[in-house]
Structure 1
Amino acid sequence: MNRFDRADRRQRGRSDPLDAENAARAVLSGRARAQATAGDGPVEIARMDKPAKDSAVKARTQAINPLKAVLVRADPQLREELAGLGNAELSPTCAGLVDDSLNDEADEGAVLHAPHITLCLLARRIRQLSEEVRELEGRLTRLVERHAPQLLEVVGIGPDTAVTLLITIGDNPERLGSEVSFAALCGVSPVERSSGSRQYRRLNRGGDRQANAALHRVVQTRLRVDPPTQDYYERRSKEGKTRREIVRSLERYAAREVFHLVRPVPS
């Protein structure tokens, strides 16, 4: 269903019977033309795995932060031993600081051993979460390589970005009638706000914000490493366009490119 009319909802309120009546009226009048995404293909698998991976990444970050906070309060000798280690080396080192036999609160040296034990426990948690992240990343990467490898050939699109865009498109991309509808779905279609002699288009604040963020990452990557995109940026800058306006145009071009790569060509 399309979103209900806001003015009508404010006037009449909302309830399950009213929502059902509005839905029926929208269908009968032809205003409701949206087609739901299918849930019977590989994209549905990605839709389940992606939140699990994002949750594991967030939990790992939440474990890394207190680990570094404990290091600040640890004794100077321990801080010096672990100084200069990055996250990749810090967690394995902390995981091997103590063994279970030292986990005794009645010991006279419990206060001295407390940072070691806490760092060890946090490091083990980080290691477990890292294994989950790697497993889920592998599943998502294999899914994209199997069902949409053409996306990975595009400059600026990696497995994570490709999965996000595929989730937005769904298992039935034919429901998207044109690249314009896909751009609106991703929130990168410009919205006309011209008045009189002032010609202006504002940012589209609707659409799928995850897909919008994915296209934004694609554009930012291209601005750093893609010569054609850099040339386009320089040319438009000389025409007086701001960086924000140029980025919006590039996001729209990226949406068009993704749409034609994913949507099957009608025979």
Structure 2
Amino acid sequence: MTTPTLEVTAASHVVAGVDTHSDTHHVAVLDSAGRRLGDHEFPATPAGYEQLHAYVKAFGSIALIGIEGTSSYGAGLTRYLSIRDVPIREIIRPKRAPRRAGKSDPIDAYAAARQALSEPETLPHAKNSDGHTEQIRVLLATRRSAIKARVAAARQIKSLLVTAPDSIRTRWRAVSDKALIAGLAATRPSGAITSVGAATAITLRRLARRCAYLDQEITDVDEELRVLVATAAPAMIATKGYGVVTTATLLITAGANPQRMHSEGSFAALCGASPIPASSGKTTRYRLTQLVYAALGKRRRTS
């Protein structure tokens, strides 16, 4: 699907901004001069998407709609408008200056509309959350959570063994991790919790069986991912150095519409790896984007 061109010059063209929530979406409409034309709240349902689209079109030809959270609360609306070839841009967050006037759904929606009107070419294109790429994203999210849960269960087993009664610690002291999980899962402790040892043995078996179940779940997801990735990017997965998870991650980052990234630089900017000039006076330096600092859980120094 080609990306519609943006022309916010004619008086009949309008730009809209949408503040998205789980149950409702609030849309605000501006004309090409930035004058407010109206705002309204619609339910976050297929019928609501249709009403929102009709509401904006009633003011004129749609030049652009800026949506907050196109990959979260606004995903459904983004899919609906994309199918109808409505130009869409991702609104990262409202500018700080408008926030000083307060915060509400209409205020945020108008801030999104103003950003879409003033920065149409610098705002990122919304991802198409459909097809093989979206299937891969869902499966990869499941895989990540399963791995985290598996690591947590294995860590709990090791922690419990440190303080377990001597009979249990001695039995499993020199066993490898793989044999430890298999061995604990196969134990048959008494169902009655009559002592610390009995409670520990029952708990260790439960945790080991949880690890075994998660191992199988991860294996199943890997096989499903392999099939989807081979369909979506056969050349990449066949290239040496690109495994299933690495290829899946790149596909998710690019999205189902990779044409929104017109160069290597735009892909680097999307990943937060492109340097941004941060020079002043005789000092020449660069910094990474806010995405990197957000991922690291750090705040960028402004001085």
| Structure-1-length-normalised TM-score | 0.67
* Aligned counterpart in structure 1 of residue 286 of structure 2, from 201, 204, 224: 201
1:8 paired with 2:8, answer no
1:174 paired with 2:295, answer no
**Deviations 1:210-246 (CA, angstroms, capped at 9, x unpaired):** 7x9xxxxxxxxxxxxxxxxxxxxxxxxxxxxxxxxxx
Displacement after TM superposition at 1:105 (Å): 3.0
Displacement after TM superposition at 1:142 (Å): 2.2
Displacement after TM superposition at 1:149 (Å): 3.1
* Aligned counterpart in structure 1 of residue 212 of structure 2, from 127, 142, 156: 127
Structure 2 match to 1:20? 109
Structure 2 Cα separation of the partners of residues 26 and 6 of structure 1: 8
Displacement after TM superposition at 1:48 (Å): 1.1
Contact 1:187 1:209 in 2 (8 A): no
Contact 1:144 1:162 in 2 (8 A): yes
| Structure-2-length-normalised TM-score | 0.60
Structure 2 Cα separation of the partners of residues 27 and 105 of structure 1: 64
- Tell me the amino acid that sits aligned with residue 9 of structure 1: P
Displacement after TM superposition at 1:43 (Å): 0.7
* Aligned counterpart in structure 2 of residue 38 of structure 1, from 117, 128, 135: 128
Q: 1:47 to 1:122 in 2, by over 3 A?
A: same
Structure 1 match to 2:155? 65
**Percent identity over paired residues:** 36
The runs of 5 or more residues in structure 2 that have no matched partner are 1-89, 297-303
**Deviations 1:107-138 (CA, angstroms, capped at 9, x unpaired):** xxx44433322211111111111111111122
Structure 1 match to 2:139? 49
1:184 paired with 2:269, answer yes
1:138 paired with 2:223, answer yes
Contact 1:56 1:132 in 2 (8 A): yes
Trace 1:95-244 onto structure 2 (pairs within 5 A): 95-98=185-188, 102-105=190-193, 110-153=195-238, 156-206=241-291
- Tell me the amino acid that sits aligned with residue 222 of structure 2: E
1:79 paired with 2:163, answer no
**Deviations 1:59-101 (CA, angstroms, capped at 9, x unpaired):** 11121122112211223343233223232111010112215xx
Using CA pairs under 8 Å that are at least 6 residues apart, name the structure with larger relative contact order, 1 or 2.
Answer: 1
RMSD of aligned alpha carbons: 2.6
Structure 1 Cα separation of the partners of residues 202 and 219 of structure 2: 26
Contact 1:185 1:207 in 2 (8 A): no
Contact 2:98 2:111 in 1 (8 A): no
Q: 1:85 to 1:145 in 2, by over 3 A?
A: farther
Q: What secondary structure sits across from 1:128 in the alignment?
A: helix
Contact 2:237 2:244 in 1 (8 A): yes
Higher mean displacement: 144-153 or 201-210: 201-210
Contact 1:82 1:90 in 2 (8 A): yes
Displacement after TM superposition at 1:38 (Å): 0.7
User: Which structure is higher in helix share?
Assistant: 1
Structure 1 Cα separation of the partners of residues 247 and 293 of structure 2: 14
Structure 1 Cα separation of the partners of residues 160 and 191 of structure 2: 17
Displacement after TM superposition at 1:161 (Å): 2.1
How many pairs are equivalent?
206
Structure 1 Cα separation of the partners of residues 227 and 145 of structure 2: 20
